[in-house]
Amino acid sequence: MTTKQPLSHLDWLEAEAIHILREVAGQCANPVLLFSGGKDSLCILRLAEKAFRPGRFPFPLLHIDTGHNYQEVVQFRDQRAAELGERLIVRSVEDSMQRGTVVLKTPDEPRNKHQSVTLLEAIEEFGFDCCIGGARRDEEKARAKERIMSFRDEFGQWDPKNQRPELWNLYNARVHKGENIRAFPISNWTEMDVWQYIERENLALPSIYFAHQRDIVMRHGSIFPVNVPLANGDLINQPKAGEEVINMQVRFRTVGDITCTAPVISDAADVSKIVLETATTTITERGATRLDDQTSDASMEQRKKEGYF
């Protein structure tokens, strides 16, 4: 008599996420998967492979590029999309700036929050009725208020006090013309779950997730990367007068706009060491690394109300 092996917690999370992806494919007419090249969206790509291969994904990939992304991540994004043979759409905040729909207060203002404008423009351009994202409830308290299928009105706005009930695994992605859904297949995952899944599935990652030497300064209590090269050869994040540039071994826990994404001190050079490091850290992922989330307790919630991921 054979004995059935119990499912691990990763098996349960994987099964739930695959179910959600198939619900999106079944209920939505024109969905899209938001893909930045970061660890969370790479997990969703793997889940999509398990949900839909050997066929093509029933949605293209979309990246909203601030123009200030780490080149290692952008190159990895393009390489991964090509390996999968899936369509990658890139829309740029800089294009929104040229159209006048995004106006920076200062040239060095972080562009993360302005991604909302470019995303809403892309949704209108392509008529997407659902955006699949890699947000997790443990990342930030505004994201903990989201449903798995989170409704946005015809202006792309989110109202945390006016959400649809979500009973067990019954998901409602119905929308009227102009409205859309944000679907979060890994909403019930934690940062540790993501790293354990990456280790189990042996997923490739951009190199900035692993410990490496980088020039940094200490600014407002955070490690701030400086002299970071852009694709055109320019250096962004110049040190300010009086700041001491130090070459330090660091890694990134999250990827995003160079001007507001900070690394952490680390010697974790492979995924197994990152899993151990994640198990012992007492600092939240975004609290330690996303300077734009530190402007106020409600900064993420306000951006989400305006159409952010």
Residues 170 and 60 in one domain: yes
Question: What value does the mean pLDDT of the chain take?
Answer: 90
Which has more confidence, 250 or 308? 250
Residues 181 and 242 in one domain: no
- Residue 24 within a domain: yes
Residues 242 and 186 in one domain: no
Minimal CA–CA distance to 51: which of 31, 29, 22, 78?
22
Residues 160 and 217 in one domain: no
Residues 43 and 128 in one domain: yes
- Express each pLDDT in 192-246 by its tens digit: 999 999 999 999 999 999 999 999 999 888 889 999 998 888 898 999 999 999 9
Residues 81 and 53 in one domain: yes
- Residue 132 within a domain: yes
- Express each pLDDT in 76-86 by its tens digit: 999 999 999 99
What pTM does this model have?
A: 0.91
Minimal CA–CA distance to 199: which of 139, 138, 265, 268?
268
For the chain, percent of residues with pLDDT exceeding 90: 66
Residues 181 and 238 in one domain: no
In angstroms, the CA 291 to CA 282 distance is 18
Which has more confidence, 120 or 260? 120
**109 pLDDT above the threshold of 60:** yes
Number of domains present in the structure of the chain: 2
Residue whose token pair is 């800089």: 94
Omega of the bond prior to 206 within 30 degrees of 0, cis? no
Do 253 and 289 form a contact (C-beta atoms < 8 A)? yes
**305 pLDDT above the threshold of 80:** no
Tell me what pLDDT residue 228 has: 92
Tell me what pLDDT residue 307 has: 67
Residues 156 and 237 in one domain: no
- Express each pLDDT in 135-171 by its tens digit: 998 887 777 888 999 999 988 888 888 888 888 889 9
**268 pLDDT above the threshold of 60:** yes
Structure tokens at 158: 């989110």
Determine the average pLDDT of the residues in 2-30: 93
Q: At what angle do helices 39-52 and 191-201 cross, to 10 degrees?
A: 60
Residues 163 and 82 in one domain: yes
What is the CATH number for 167? 3.40.50.620
Determine the average pLDDT of the residues in 116-141: 92
- Residue 4 within a domain: no
Which has more confidence, 287 or 267? 267
Determine the average pLDDT of the residues in 50-54: 97
Tell me what pLDDT residue 92 has: 96
Which has more confidence, 184 or 230? 184
Determine the average pLDDT of the residues in 263-283: 92
Residues 106 and 17 in one domain: yes
Give just the sign of the alpha carbon dihedral 145, 147, 148, 150.
Answer: negative
Domain encompassing residue 90 = 9-202+298-306
- Express each pLDDT in 283-300 by its tens digit: 777 666 666 655 555 666
- Residue 68 within a domain: yes
